[in-house]
Amino acid sequence: MDTTFRDAHQSLLATRVRTHDLLKISPFVSHNFNTLYSLENWGGATFDVALRFLHECPWERLESMRKLIPNIPFQMLLRGANGVGYTSYPDNAVYKFCELSVKAGMDIFRVFDSLNYLPNLVLGIDAVGNAGGVVEAAISYSGDISDPSKKKYTLDYYMKLADELVKAGIHVLCIKDMAGLLKPRAAKLLISRLRERYPDLPIHVHTHDTSGAGVASMLECAYAGADAVDVAVDSMSGMTSQPSMGAVVASLMGHELDTGMNLNDVSQYSAFWEQTRTLYAPFECAVTMKSGNADVYQNEIPGGQYTNLQFQAFSLGLGDQFEAVKKAYREANLLLGDLIKVTPSSKVVGDLAQFMVQNKLSAADVEAGAENLSFPKSVIEFVQGYLGEPYGGFSEPLRTKMLKGLPTVKGRPGATMAPLDFAAIKSKLSEEHGPRITEYDVLSYAMYPKVTEDFLFFRNKYGPVDKLDTRIFLTGPKVGEEFEVQIEKGKTLHIKTLAMAEDLNVNGEREVFFELNGQLRSVMVRDQE
């Protein structure tokens, strides 16, 4: 599977790659990579970031990619009962979300739960199955099964969970190594054991290359009988992203597992992304991250979160704080009982770690003073049970001290949530934003109410900004610059910026003059300097 369209940029470029650039390279992918198991191009953080920061509709992105790539299965990442969000949703929101995803063009759903909590996983599996999608159920990997001193997440734990998932009726089993902890020897052990137990079950493995061992691990998985492994095109691979496509393709050439993929095609694809990546320089993790780092085996921070935490620390001018955050992350995880850490449980651990660093608290301080500390909201909601139940139970007596008498949820959180009234949401949105509200907008609202409202206001005011090219979108045109925007097939706007007024008006706005298809126009723009 190629992750370039989703996890690679989520992990390297803060998920900022725009539909415009994805569509530019889509015909090339369609023509040259039709032997891929799948193209991961949706879900995870892309949904939220598209709406929130890129001001574009994620559903339209999916439909547009589908039109240009009709011949490669599409794959998305579904956070089980957490949909594409950070919390539990009512069941009908997850079912409807899957139904619409299939309608918009999705094929394969990688379903995981941030605590490997079976009832949440089963809900996601059922929702995908109901929608007619391919169910790829994922076991999130933590710890190290090749280290006998690690007692919580053992080979036996993973085999039992696999048994439960197979019983739930899945099409594909995924091992989701979101932090890149699956060392080559552990990979061989786990995949060969799964292959032995389930000779006919398709097995798919996902990893991140944070330590630098990703290619080695994926090759071991392939040799041990995995059917598909995840890679990103070379120029979007490595470090917190997936291992390199070119490296895996080249390593298997002439072997019985030869992928049959052409290195020249990979290289052309990579050249496109090498160029395109430069447009996203402000979001580039490579500004702060220069190399792989094997300390991930200790802190167990997932790929996307690793770059986020590092970026936050460096942008505050606290580069050395990142070392403290990584250390605190490890401690926070142990305090909470050694959790599976992946969105959203990884956010809980990250928030606790940052809280500890900011307040200069050691693990012992947290344990001793929990009754008197104001923990981040995500941490409190986690101990209340809003994400489900962690394997091995909640950490006591810390949980009770943190709760300070707050109510708790037993079992699967979504089971006790009232269903959403989609018709009511639609009429509310239509009243506020006009009659063009679709069922896709309704589901965006179900996942992210405030972000979707902001997006709808923005779209009504500014139109389809996803049609602008990325440099213009991110930095704006220069005075005197001419550019074109294709708003639909055969409809192109010619724009030339002419001048800006010297003075600001009373609202702090400046008049900007431009030509639109040869006609003089002006617009008031708030001055940000």
d(CA 187, CA 166): 20
Task: Identify residues 150-189 at the interface with Zn ion (CB under 5 A).
Answer: 178
Q: Which does 414 bind (CB under 5 to 8 A by kind): ligand 3PY, Zn ion, none?
A: none
Identify which range of 1-9, 254-262, 273-281, 432-440 contacts Zn ion by CB under 5 A: 1-9
CB 115 within 8 A of CB 105: no
Q: Which of 81, 342, 443, 447 binds ligand 3PY (CB under 6 A)?
A: 342
d(CA 414, CA 378): 17
Q: Kindly tell me which of 11 and 354 has the beta carbon lying closer to ligand 3PY.
A: 11
CB 224 within 8 A of CB 195: yes
DSSP 8-state symbol, 87: S
- Can you name the residues that pair with 229 across neighbouring β-strands? 205
Q: Kindly tell me which of 221 and 495 has the beta carbon lying closer to ligand 3PY.
A: 221
Non-local CB neighbours of 107 within 8 Å, separated by 6+ positions: 38, 73, 74, 75, 133, 134
Quick check: 350 binds ligand 3PY (CB under 6 A)? no
CB of 368 to ligand 3PY, least distance (A): 33
> Minimal CA–CA distance to 336: which of 401, 282, 287?
401
CB of 432 to ligand 3PY, least distance (A): 29
Quick check: 1 binds ligand 3PY (CB under 6 A)? no
Count CA atoms within 13 Å of residue 274 on its CB side.
Answer: 8
d(CA 145, CA 319): 33
CB 72 within 8 A of CB 304: no
Quick check: 246 binds ligand 3PY (CB under 6 A)? no
Quick check: 345 binds ligand 3PY (CB under 6 A)? no
Cα–Cα distances (Å) from 391 to 334, 345, 388, 510, in that order, read 13, 12, 10, 58
CB of 344 to ligand 3PY, least distance (A): 8
To which residue do tokens 């994620």 refer?
58
d(CA 204, CA 351): 31
CB 344 within 8 A of CB 378: yes
- Provide the mask over 442-471, with x wherever binding to ligand 3PY is found by CB under 6 A and - wherever it is not: ------------------------------
Q: Kindly tell me which of 178 and 402 has the beta carbon lying closer to ligand 3PY.
A: 178
Quick check: 9 binds ligand 3PY (CB under 6 A)? no
Q: Kindly tell me which of 44 and 133 has the beta carbon lying closer to ligand 3PY.
A: 44
Two structure tokens written together for 172: 């594909």
- Provide the mask over 54-93, with x wherever binding to ligand 3PY is found by CB under 6 A and - wherever it is not: -----------------------x-x--------------
CB of 304 to ligand 3PY, least distance (A): 5
Quick check: 111 binds ligand 3PY (CB under 6 A)? no
Identify which range of 5-13, 14-22, 422-430, 499-507 contacts Zn ion by CB under 5 A: 5-13
CB of 517 to ligand 3PY, least distance (A): 41
Q: Kindly tell me which of 342 and 353 has the beta carbon lying closer to Zn ion.
A: 342
d(CA 74, CA 158): 27
Non-local CB neighbours of 504 within 8 Å, separated by 6+ positions: 510, 527
Q: Which does 412 bind (CB under 5 to 8 A by kind): Zn ion, ligand 3PY, none?
A: none
Closest residue to bound ligand 3PY by CB: 44
CA-based radius of gyration for the chain? 24
Beta sheet of 509-516, edge-to-edge order = 482-488, 491-500, 509-516, 519-526
Quick check: 304 binds ligand 3PY (CB under 6 A)? yes
Task: Identify residues 301-320 at the interface with Zn ion (CB under 5 A).
Answer: none
Q: Is 400 exposed, middle or buried (0-12, 13-18, 19+ CB in 10 A)?
A: middle
Quick check: 366 binds ligand 3PY (CB under 6 A)? no
Binding footprint of Zn ion, residue count (CB under 5 A): 2
Two structure tokens written together for 36: 């891929």
Two structure tokens written together for 72: 């490669």
Q: Kindly tell me which of 235 and 242 has the beta carbon lying closer to Zn ion.
A: 242
Q: Which of 1, 5, 6, 7 binds Zn ion (CB under 5 A)?
A: 7
Phi/psi at 3 (5° precision): -100, 5
Q: How far is CA 189 from the centre of its chain?
A: 28
CB of 341 to Zn ion, least distance (A): 12
Quick check: 204 binds ligand 3PY (CB under 6 A)? no
**Binding residues vs Zn ion (CB under 5 A):** 7, 178
Using CB under 6 A, list all residues that contact ligand 3PY: 7, 10, 44-45, 77, 79, 178, 302, 304, 342-343
